[in-house]
Amino acid sequence: MTTKELHALFLEHPTISTDTRKITENCLFFALKGPHFNGNNFALDALKKGAAYAIVDEKPPKSSHKTILCPDVLKTLQELATYHRNYCKAKVVSLTGSNGKTTTKELINAVLSKKYKTIATQGNLNNHIGVPLTLLSIQKDTEIAIIEMGANHRQEIKSLSNIAQPDFGYVTNFGKAHLEGFGGFEGVIKGKSELYDYLTSHNKYIFFNADDKVQKEKLENYHKKIGFSTNDHRFYNITFNGIDPFVTLKVEGIEIKTQLVGKYNFLNCCAAILMGKYFNVPLKDIKTAIETYLPNNNRSQIVSKNGYNIVLDAYNANPTSMKAALENFNLMDGTPKTIIIGDMFELGDTASEEHQSIADLTKELKFSNVYLVGKNFFGTKTQFNKFKSFEDLKAFLEKHPVEKGTLLIKGSRGMALERVLDIL
């Protein structure tokens, strides 16, 4: 079956499933494989549960006229997504970066949806499977699709760019994330810049932060670029008015008061404003969209509980985002200040050095109470409270409650430090 023929079938059955536990009537089931599963083994089960067809790359033990055999299910899904992306008229905006991708994507969607019919990556479904599934959610009347792209090693963003074929792109930043997979910070820059490589080679537009030295140098000789800056008036001017504790910014004399903490979120807002202005969204609508956006899913959330004022930023962490979070927390009002921070994953050979650097920074910033959680932080040379595991932290805090006041909770996803809320 050709991609065109499969797409015609998809238009008749426009729901995709890759999990037999979530089969809906008349969906298309794609039998994907992983290290610990083989979707081909569940194809007939998917059909029994109501799937219209099952796309497989291994012949099932019992034949069915509703199974479609292809050479590679994943590649077929990706090719179908690209075909559908080009079949529809929606403009595609893709973004990647080390930090802030999901929040920036949500802000861009909030702004652009004020004027356009948009779709955006759900949650952080930003990989080789999530990106195709997002593209396949583009509807006939969708005008702009906002596609988040994640990666933990080189060539991933190149592959995702070829699948999504974006008309516009944005890199939030280049940070110390997934250093193990990328082979160091220079590898991160090269890996994330694969989006730039696609856009420049196809003569597409790039949004960028003109105050970011790496971005500015990378795009110095490229003509189709649209930038924002706090001090360079050649680009769109947006100013930062400080935190108390929420980000406030000013654009064209209009003040925008967000419900986001941290200067890093100022840059995320700038990207959304820049794109809103490019796509002619009225400034009053941009202001409303950003001011009413509420962070969720453990990303820079402000939580009040039992006398604690908590900055919950436990979705993920790397050295760049951890440093930014600690420095921002240091500027916030409120005493005493307590931090509970967990290990940062995927740092490879640099793990010990990077965790020690963060431990040293916390000492410089002189917080009232510091709790370090995880094997890497436990190995640092410091006088702070250290715990090898969350269970050790929990046992300690149940006997020695955290002092009431302002609290930062941050760590990599695998640490699941939002569980601290149940202890307070």
Superfamily for 301-422?
Mur ligase, C-terminal domain (3.90.190.20)
Question: Of 99, 109, 116, nearest to 134 (Cα)?
Answer: 109
Task: Tally Cβ neighbours within 10 Å of residue 304.
Answer: 8
pLDDT band, residue 273 (cuts 50/70/90)? very high
pLDDT digits (tens, 9 = 90+) for 332-366: 888 899 999 999 999 999 999 999 999 999 999 99
Q: Which CATH class for the 88-292 domain?
A: alpha beta
Query: pTM for the whole thing?
Result: 0.88
Q: Report the amino acid identity of residue 412.
A: S
pLDDT band, residue 11 (cuts 50/70/90)? very high
Q: Does residue 378 or residue 246 have the better pLDDT?
A: 378
pLDDT digits (tens, 9 = 90+) for 71-112: 999 999 999 999 999 999 999 999 999 989 999 999 999 999
Question: What's the chain's average pLDDT?
Answer: 94
Question: Of 411, 321, 322, 336, nearest to 366 (Cα)?
Answer: 336
**Dihedral Cα 274, 279, 283, 289, nearest 10 deg:** -80
Are 372 and 401 within 8 A, CB to CB? no
How high is the pLDDT of residue 14? 95
Return the structure tokens found at 98: 């080390």
d(CA 214, CA 419): 37
> pLDDT at residue 297 above 90?
no
Return the structure tokens found at 121: 């990556």
pLDDT digits (tens, 9 = 90+) for 24-75: 999 999 999 988 899 999 999 999 999 999 999 998 878 788 999 999 999 9
- Burial (CB count within 10 angstroms: exposed 0-12, middle 13-18, buried 19+), residue 2: exposed
> pLDDT at residue 420 above 90?
yes
pLDDT band, residue 243 (cuts 50/70/90)? low
The architecture in CATH of the region 3-71 reads 3-Layer(aba) Sandwich (3.40)
Handedness of CA 375, 377, 382, 386 (dihedral sign): negative
Burial 316-355 (b: 16+ CB within 10 A, else e): bbbbbbbbbbbebbbebeeeebbbbbbbbbbbeeebeebb
Return the CA Rg of the chain.
Answer: 23
At 344, is the secondary structure helix, strand, or coil? coil
What own/partner pairs with CB < 8 Å and gap ≥ 24 does 240-247 have? 240/266, 243/328, 243/331, 243/332, 244/333, 245/302, 245/311, 245/332, 245/333
3-71 against 301-422: fold identical: no
**For the ranges 6-20, 231-245, 308-322, which has the lowest average pLDDT?**
231-245
Handedness of CA 66, 68, 69, 72 (dihedral sign): negative
> pLDDT at residue 178 above 90?
no
Return the structure tokens found at 327: 């420095």
pLDDT digits (tens, 9 = 90+) for 187-213: 999 999 999 999 999 999 999 999 999
Query: Which residue is associated with the tokens 């009002």?
Result: 333
How high is the pLDDT of residue 332? 85
DSSP calls for 4-72: HHHHHHHHHS--EES-GGG--TTPEEE--EETTEEGGGGHHHHHHTT-SEEEESS--SS--TTEEE-S-
Domain boundaries, the chain: 3-71, 88-292, 301-422
> pLDDT at residue 258 above 90?
yes
Q: What is the DSSP letter of 313?
A: E
Query: Which residue is associated with the tokens 């939002």?
Result: 418
